[in-house]
Amino acid sequence: MKRLLWILAGVLLPSLALAQSPAQQYVNSMAGKGPLEGTLLGIMVRDAQGNTVAEYNPDLRLTPASNTKLVTTGCALHAFGADYRFKTGLGYTGTVKDGTLEGDLYILGGGDPTIGSADSIAFKADALFWKWKTLLRAVGIERIHGRIIGDGSRWEGHLEHASWSYDDMGTYYGTGSNGLCFYENTIDYDVAAGPAAGSPVRFVQTYPDTPWMETLNYGFTGPEGTGNSLYLYTSDLAPCAQLRGTFAIGRRPKTEHFSNKFGDLTCAYYFWKNLRDTGWEVSGGYARVDRSGRIAGPDFVLQEPAGEPVEIGFTESARIKDIARETNWRSDNFYAESFLRAMGEAASGNACYDSCLVAISDVLLDLNLSLESIHQADGSGLSRNNYMTARWFTDYLLAMRQSPAFDAFLASLPAPGQGTLNVVKLSQGNRVRMKSGSMDGVLCYSGYILDRSGKPQFTFSLLTNNALAPAKDVRPVLMGFLEFLLSL
Give the span between the Cα atoms of 49 and 138, in whole angstroms. 56
Q: What is the dihedral of CA 10, 13, 14, 17, to 10 degrees?
A: -170
Q: Supply the pLDDT for residue 18.
A: 72
pLDDT in tens, 230-280: 999 999 989 999 999 999 999 999 999 999 999 999 999 999 999 999 999
Angle between helices 353-366 and 68-80 (to 10 degrees): 70
Domains, in order of start, for the chain = 22-81+321-487 (3.40.710.10), 85-156+263-318 (3.50.80.20), 183-259 (no CATH)
Per-residue model confidence (pLDDT) at position 306: 86
Please give the model's pTM, rounded to 2 decimal places: 0.94
Look at the chain and count its residues.
488
Per-10-residue mean pLDDT of the chain, 488 residues long, equals 50 60 95 95 97 98 98 98 98 96 97 95 96 97 97 90 91 92 96 96 96 96 94 92 95 96 97 98 96 92 92 97 98 97 94 92 94 94 97 98 98 97 95 97 98 96 97 97 96
- What is the model's pLDDT at position 13? 46
Is residue 80 packed enough to be buried (19+ CB in 10 Å), middle (13-18) or exposed (0-12)?
Answer: buried
Q: Using CA atoms, how far apart are residues 248 and 252, in angstroms rounded to an integer?
A: 9
Kindly report, residue by residue over 440-474, the tens digit of the pLDDT.
999 999 999 999 999 999 999 999 999 999 999 99
pLDDT of residue 123: 92
